[in-house]
Amino acid sequence: MWGTHLWVDEQVLLALLMNPLSNYMSYFRYQSQIDSDCLLTSYKRLLENAGLLVCEEFSSGTQIFAENQLNQIDTKTKVKVLISWADKSSRVSLVEVRSDEPHLRKDTLCEQVANQLLDLIPAK
């Protein structure tokens, strides 16, 4: 029975890897800690310093949504950043950076933005 179960898992994994859509969605995520109870106050300026536009319509004190500006080098790639609370009581936030770039490619714009944000918003 174990061998059959293992074979099915390998087949599912193979199907996912062979699916062209599974090769997309570059994604980086980490936690950070702040001194404030308001994410927007704490992170807005840092995101803007990284060249990201904070979308006021989808941002609040409890979550922030930002995107890269269109005048950057690779205008075809849209990098999106979402910052939300991982644990508000201990002021730990979750920083997520994603794009539609292949996740297996090295040095994507998503990775560059994630590394830039790690310098501005250190990991916990």
Closest listed residue to residue 121, CA positions, set 39, 9, 24: 39
Question: What pTM was estimated for this model as a whole?
Answer: 0.77
Neighbours of 84 (CB within 10 A): 15
Rg of the chain on CA atoms, in Å: 18
Angle between helices 109-120 and 39-49 (to 10 degrees): 120
pLDDT in tens, 72-107: 555 678 899 999 999 999 999 999 999 988 877 888
pLDDT in tens, 8-51: 455 544 444 445 544 568 899 999 999 999 999 999 999 999 99
Q: Which domains does the chain have, with CATH numbers?
A: 24-120 (3.30.310.80)
